Structure 1
Amino acid sequence: MKIGLISDTHDNIRNIEIATEIFAERKVDLIIHAGDITTPEAVEAFSDSIRVIGVLGNNDVDIKGLTNAFQKIKGELRGDFCEIEQDGLLIAVYHGTEFKRRESIIQSGKYDVVVYGHTHKTENNIVGNKTMVINPGTANGWFFGYRATAAILDTITKECEFVDL
């Protein structure tokens, strides 16, 4: 299975549309949003043809509106942290707002994959014996001069590819 990873969209609807087009072309089965989507309109920019699971980031203040928007696109907003099991992998998703909590999740050794955002910097590392740590970067692209990126994780090969938006 291929999973599209995206974070820190910060209401950039055009880049969300670009990302969903890329995910559809690459036959992604699920999109994970690691927080800082910011508005219900940004949630609705995701195609309802690909299931979206998201977590809250520090800029996601309209929780009721975001929750309703996720329901509208048949997606799920799972609070500020969630676990997803897919193809034998246990995946943790956390925006990463609190550094100590993020590091605790990564260092726990419980997860095969940890997906986080917040820093806007892409990352793909192995920690310990098995934990793949992925930050898809910022899909918005303009904060701190970072380019707009997302990622695609293949759960079978355990390969992660970054894509420019």
Structure 2
Amino acid sequence: MKTAIISDTHGLLRPEALTCLQGCDLIIHAGDIGCPEILTQLTSIAPTHAVRGNNDLNLPWAANLPDYLTFEINSWQTLLTHDIADVPADLDSKIKLVITGHSHKPCIQWHGDCLYLNPGSAGRRRFKLPVTLALLDVSADTLTPQLVHLLDSPA
């Protein structure tokens, strides 16, 4: 199952990101979406899970978005929240995939048998951080993440 993970679009869904999302079975947005049209575009490509980020708070269109979600991807228990600071310290041992955004810093890290994935920011560049998203190949027994750089070089 090909899954795209995107975050921190802040109202900008780049053509390069749209190209990467084509053919995905599922899209996950880890918050700071920026405008409802982004979710409309994403759901026109594939089923989409999304949480609101700190910049989506107090926006009427985002009021019904959750702060965190738990769901399964191909039998992998997944926790999705915008800020890693909101991941419980006593994380349920059934959770094997934690997806966050917020920092704009991409990170793919295993903590024991749990994958922590931050796809970085796919929207406007922040400082000199890369503009990225992640693709995740999900099979019954493996998670294979890949970071995708959307722009060739830093600003």
User: In the alignment, what sits opposite 1:7?
Assistant: 7
Corresponding residue to 1:37 among 33, 39, 48: 33
- TM-score when normalising by structure 1: 0.80
**Distance in 2 between the 1:154 and 1:78 partners?**
26
User: In the alignment, what sits opposite 1:93?
Assistant: 80
Write the letter of the residue equivalent to 2:149: D
| CA shift digits 1:140-162 (9 cap, x unpaired) | 24112112100011111310011
Structural mapping, 1:15-164, within 5 Å: 15=14, 17-24=15-22, 27-46=23-42, 48-66=44-62, 78-96=65-83, 99=85, 101-102=86-87, 104=89, 107-128=91-112, 130-156=113-139, 157-164=142-149
Q: Is the 8 A contact 1:38 1:62 kept in 2?
A: no
Alpha-carbon RMSD across the aligned residues, in angstroms, is 2.0
Query: For the structure 1 residues 66 and 78, does the alpha-carbon distance in structure 2 shift closer, same or farther, using more than 3 Å as the test?
Result: closer
Q: Is the 8 A contact 1:53 1:78 kept in 2?
A: no
Pick the structure with more helix per residue.
1
Where do 5+ consecutive residues of structure 2 fail to align?
151-155
| CA shift digits 1:16-71 (9 cap, x unpaired) | x43232121xx21010000001222333343513111100100003543246xxxx
Query: For the structure 1 residues 102 and 144, does the alpha-carbon distance in structure 2 shift closer, same or farther, using more than 3 Å as the test?
Result: farther
How much has 1:109 moved relative to structure 2? 2.9
Q: Segments of 4+ in structure 1 off by > 6 A? A: none
How much has 1:108 moved relative to structure 2? 4.2
**Distance in 2 between the 1:145 and 1:28 partners?**
28
